[in-house]
Structure 1
Amino acid sequence: MSKSGRIGSSAVVPASIKKGDWNIYEGVALLRVDGVEPHYVAAFLNSKYGHSQIRRELKGVAQPHLHLEDIRRLKLFVPEPHEMAEVSALVLGGTGRAQCAHRLFQDALAALETELGLDKLTIQKTVGYATQLSNIEVSRRFDPEHYFPAFSTFCAGLPSRVALSPLVNHLEFCQRGKQPVYAKTGLPVINSKHVQPNRVILEGNRFALANPVDDLQIRAGDTLINGTGRGTIGRAAPYISDTPAVADNHVTILRSSSLDPAYLSLYLNSAAGQMQVEMHQRGTSGQLELYPFDIRKFLVWPAPGELQRDLRDLYDKATKAERESKRLLDQAKTRVEQLIEAAVQP
């Protein structure tokens, strides 16, 4: 169970994990409940009756957290064995579909990296490296990260069938969002935390008024890339929802008619894309920035249509498995709530 951040979120350690494979982080509590199936326990803690108790036990204001003694005070509803087994089966089905989605995402990324020769690429960690003064004059960059030879080594070893070209040649639109005008209702706001590798989170978003500039509305088929923050910068994801959304000023919208958004997202999240993120980012460790004018300089591979379609097919199968996982896990939480409500009815 998470004690900080997404406080109260609970999950079961997979059976495939062997003793000693994982260490526990201080922000996570390890629970072992005697006589109660762990998948049921996770469903209960994730249900509204679990979360309502957890919220009451929170300590702190600016940074809420949960102590172990607070967790011990939580009351657990234990149903009949066959009811517990029913909930556990739903949780197992949901986690199984989530694992399937993860494998499909990894298969798509691995297939692309194999085509690019990244599976055979070896980068030597040298003590130092050099560049030409003319390169500094042209780029106006003095930061050593910009000249790290990883990407040039990748380009030198590309298979003959792969030819890179500037991303700007394949874009109709490349611009950061603007600071949203937040409201109680309106369009969902997409910020950096919602743009995860190859997926956009559309849960718990705040709402904002539509942007007066229509092009700055996120549309189905756009690709989003984070432009700020260590750990978040350079993460890319396709936007496949039919519901328009608003990007905040840390998210850049990419729009292309020749590159499938799922394919472009996979490329940007691959080693080929991330090497260019490190090469083109600006600023200090306190505030890193990836600006649209630098994103346009990225070199991408306009892969054959057949390959783009194959990778999109894997991507669609993965997102379908994710939706099915969410449905089953939500069903498990709902079933726990129904069992509790039935038990307390007079």
Structure 2
Amino acid sequence: MASITQVRLTDTISENRWAAEYFDPKYAFQPNEKYKWIRLGKTFTKCQYGISISMNEKLKGFPIFRMNEINNCVLEKAKKYANIPKAIFEKYKLLPNDVLFNRTNSIDFVGRTGIFKEGEESTFASYLVRVNTNEDLVLPEFLTMYLNTEFGKGQIRRRAMPSINQANVSAAELRRIFIPLVDLVEQNSLKKIFNRSYNLKKESQALYQKATQLLEQELGLDKITFEKPKRYSARFSEVVNSNRADGEFYNPELKNYYKYITETQGRILKPLTYFTKVIKFSNPDYASEGVPIITQKHLTKISPEGYNSFPIASEEWVSKNSAALLRENDLLFYSVGAYLGKTNIWFSDDRAVHASFITMLRCDNKFDAGYLMVLLNSKYGILQSKVYQSGSSQPYIYPKDIRQFLIPDINEDLKKQLYELIRSSYDSKIESQRLLEKAKARVEQLIEEGSQTKVQSSTTA
């Protein structure tokens, strides 16, 4: 069936757009009398492209935000730096409640929008646009949520100018997007929910950071430093016995950690298998209906997210591999790819299995699971993953090598404390997300109340 959409010539002329996608009925709308709708540009007090400069990860200069750090309406910590003069930085310095709009990327990511609430002095990259609004008309929190609703994303997509590999929404096109002038009492109510969500997100991050710091202090990882030699050697017998000839395997840094933990700290190193089973399954059979599959892209800092659509495992495969169904406190170890060793803990009640590029660690004691999750994500844990990794084009690590990891024994009280911290961190994050979705759903409701379908479409065979 083919769908035909009819539009008025005056609409194409006034919008200066002729592409059929622009007038797709799912994007086009007609404001009703509930709200006044105006162009976004009418609400702006500032609209500025970011700075174009090479970036570094060596802490040189000022933190610089990129699209990567815009996550669900807020900005995460900047991971790269811009080495620029102070005078230039002042021109592009982010201030609280600045809204950053990603103007170029694939059609699915163009328009990603987040708000800078607080943090260290930072700037922003050239493919982001900084906007400030007249807060007598539109609050920055409301604008951010509006552009992150499905309706807002649709308005962004219809304004996107496609190229070969990506789409672009210029500042001029951003200004032309319509926004409803919702009553400021309603906007302030939504702002309060948004800020509660933001504060819970900060609390979640602080709790996880506390768990990391507690473990590092207990093991002395926060004080230990080793100077990595430019070259090192291994005995021929070591190469034969380990059946490994790659240089990373003989990195002396890990041996220095072992020595520090056992001799200076006086701790016993136990094999990973003392604390957990290391379990590997083949890749599940895919189906259109069944059980969600956790892949590498679903792993976060604590527990997997966003796994309810694709891929899906068939119920037949799951019934034949019932042990693959995730249980509370199972660990998911990233065993193939760039983030080798990244580990999540399963806190959800959902039925799910994992893909073959993830290895399951199943503990009998939930406090062991919490401890291992924090340890494996520490610099000591990641170093073990790097030492035992194999592969050339893509790093991977086999279960037999994961089983060789050595784990410092710590007391049960600290394990319990670590578990409770990461569990509380997870709960705060989930509540933060719930509140944000509640606020966005209310914005969607307000939009629906203030608009109606603009164009008529007919279907022909």
> How high is the TM-score relative to the length of structure 1?
0.90
Residues 97-106 or 69-78, more deviating = 69-78
Match of 2:123 in 1: 22
Matched, 1:140 2:250: no
The answer to whether 1:213 aligns with 2:213 is no
1:297 maps to 404
Alignment of 1:235-314 (within 5 A): 235-258=342-365, 260-284=368-392, 286-314=393-421
Equivalents in 1 of 2:187, 2:181: separation in Å?
A: 8
- Per-residue Cα deviation, 1:187-221 (whole angstroms, up to 9, x for no partner): 11100111223321145542221432222222222
Per the alignment, residue 256 of structure 2 pairs with: 153
Q: Give distance in 1, aligned partners of 2:360 and 2:126.
A: 35
Deviates more, 1:103-112 or 1:241-250: 241-250
Instruction: Render the CA deviation track for 1:122-151: whole Å, top value 9, x for unaligned.
Output: 021322122222221221111111111221
Q: Which runs of 5+ in 1 are unaligned?
A: none
Report the residue type matching 2:243 in the other structure.
R
1:180-191 map, 5 Å: 180-191=284-295
Kindly, what percent of the aligned residue pairs are identical? 28
- Mapping for residues 1-346 of structure 1, pairs under 5 Å: 1-2=101-102, 3-4=104-105, 7=109, 8-18=111-121, 21-24=122-125, 26=127, 28-35=128-135, 36-58=138-160, 64-68=166-170, 70-158=173-261, 159-175=264-280, 177-206=281-310, 207-210=312-315, 211=318, 212-230=320-338, 232-258=339-365, 260-284=368-392, 286-344=393-451
The alpha-carbon distance between structure 1 residues 135 and 30, as it changes in their structure 2 partners (threshold 3 A), is farther
Residue 226 of structure 1, CA deviation: 0.8
| Aligned twin of 2:14 | none
The question of whether the paired residues in 1 share the 8 Å contact of 2:293 and 2:307 is answered with no
Provide the secondary structure at the position in 2 that maps to 1:165.
strand
Q: Structure 1 residues 139, 70: closer, same or farther in 2, change over 3 A? A: farther
The structure with the largest strand share of the pair is 2
Deviation at 1:63, TM superposition (A): 5.1
Deviation (angstroms), 1:185? 2.4
Task: State the distance in 2 between where 1:94 and 1:16 align.
Answer: 17
Larger radius of gyration: 2
TM-score normalised over the length of structure 2? 0.68
SS at match of 1:32: strand
Q: For residues 241-277 of structure 1, give each alpha carbon's deviation from its aligned partner in whole angstroms, at most 9, with x where no partner exists.
A: 1223121111111112146322211110011100101
Higher deviation after alignment, 333-342 or 106-115: 333-342
* C-alpha contact (below 8 Å) 2:294/2:307 kept by paired residues: no
RMSD (CA atoms): 2.4
The offset of 1:110, in angstroms, is: 0.9
Partners of 1:198 and 1:266 within 8 A in 2:
no
Where 1:30 maps in the other structure, the secondary structure is strand
Is residue 180–residue 450 contact of structure 2 (8 Å, CA) maintained in 1?
no
Q: Secondary structure at the match of 1:282?
A: coil
The alignment partner of 2:238 has SS state of: helix
